[in-house]
Amino acid sequence: MSRLFEGFDDDADETTLPLMPLPDAESLHHASLIGPESSLLADVPFGETPAVEAAAPIDTSASALASTEDVPVAPDVLETPAYEIPDFEKDQREVNAYEDAKKRHIRQQISSAETAIEASFKAKREQLVAEIRASRSFEEERRASAMHTTREYANAYPHRVDKRGINPPGFWENIFSFGRAGRLYRKASIATEALEQLRNGMRKRDEQLNALESQMNRAIVLKEDSIKKAMETDAGIADFHVRPEIEALYKRVEAIKKERADYERRVERGQVSPEEQRDRAMSEFKMTYTALPLTGAIIARVARYGYLSYFQLRDLAKKESLLSYDPRLNPLRNSVFDVYPVAGAVAAKLKRNENGTAFRVADHFKACWRNQEQAEELYGQHRAALREERGLPKMEPRDEAEAEIIERLAALAISVEGGGRDNSPTSGAHL
């Protein structure tokens, strides 16, 4: 973080006041010549020595000196910046903790709902299994009864029983048998119908049992959607925020959101200084000022904060830093370079592969992002962005170290712009 104000000299931490001497007789006599308004020698006969009262001792303590309004006191602390930069990393942890707590709360509610739904369907499953088991115990009995009555009817009237089932007796068959044929048919028909009804009931329960699993899953999904939608309502989120373990965390997150919103409003009104924009961006995106060494660095973009302009560099470790803008470095926009200290000076060279071929900007993206598609997409965005932001005014370097880096890169840019090849590892090392 750059300091906006310089400190005072350390030697001016303490301020001392000169002690005033006590008045003597000569000074008192001289005072009498001031005019009639003076009362130093009032009522003293001529020729006599005036009596001089002892002056009260002068308080030279720190509290007395501090109370002297006419004497400025040098400050003993440095002035603080006019703005505060949030700790974005800490704030993000707070926001993540809040979001994780919300997700845990939803998962807990869903888990409780799933447990209740599973218990309900378990009871239904047990009931269906019990009914199927009971039906099977009666099936054997009804099947035996149906077979017995059907066999009796078939023995008496074999032509009335076939593969399609039993058929009722004829009118004369019932008359000549004095109703016996009808009675045999009714007994076989009732027993067969009872067996079929039992088997139909068992099939329906089997189908219900098989469908129970899918019904339970659907009920769980619907309940999950209901819980998630309830958390999006004012009542649902308010119920979550009043939980003791959430209330304090929620207040911190709300304070973070308020600070962000206030900052956006200040930006819209033009009340944010370029320095604050820069320092805030550096804190949020974990950027630093450029320092040695740089390995496989590229000009990722031109960062502008009001009247402040910087080259935003990125090395192979994906560390990003700001370098004061200098138009002489524009030829390096499509180059990969190394900057490093050597022999007490600074050296800069174009980065090359182990076989001596040029290390391209596309190679930089492939090295930083292993995903080939993502690397190609980011490389395309990079080329489009660097076509803009040209012709900006030069910025003065922050210090001598940065000025030295800029001068060395400017010398490297001349060789790049002129089509020269930088094969020496220490090319242009000394300034």
pLDDT for the residue numbered 24:
47
In the chain, pLDDT over 90 holds for what percent of residues? 51
pLDDT of 294: 95
The pLDDT value recorded for residue 81 is 53
Residue 90's pLDDT is 94
What rounded mean pLDDT belongs to the chain?
80
> Model confidence over 341-361: pLDDT tens digits?
998 899 999 999 999 899 999
> Which pLDDT score, from 0 to 100, does residue 419 have?
53
38: pLDDT strictly greater than 90 = no
Q: In the predicted model, what is the mean pLDDT of residues 381-390?
A: 77
Structure tokens given for 363: 């190679």
Residue 48 predicted with pLDDT over 50:
no
pLDDT exceeds cutoff 60 at 72:
no
Name the band, by pLDDT with cuts 50, 70 and 90, for residue 9. very low
Q: Compute the average pLDDT of residues 376-383.
A: 88
**Mean per-residue pLDDT for 77-88?**
71
Res 75 pLDDT > 60 = no
Q: What is the pLDDT averaged over residues 285-309?
A: 94
Indicate whether 126 pLDDT > 50: yes
- Residue 167 or residue 101, greater confidence: 101
pLDDT band at 181 (very low <50, low <70, confident <90, very high): confident
The stretch 87-105 carries a mean pLDDT of: 94
pLDDT of residue 425: 41
pLDDT, mean of residues 173-201: 87
pTM for this model (two decimals): 0.60
Model confidence at 430: pLDDT above 80: no
pLDDT band at 66 (very low <50, low <70, confident <90, very high): very low
Each residue's pLDDT tens digit, 152-174? 888 888 888 887 788 888 888 88
Q: What is residue 114's predicted lDDT score, i.e. its pLDDT? A: 93
Q: What is the mean pLDDT of residues 354-381?
A: 91
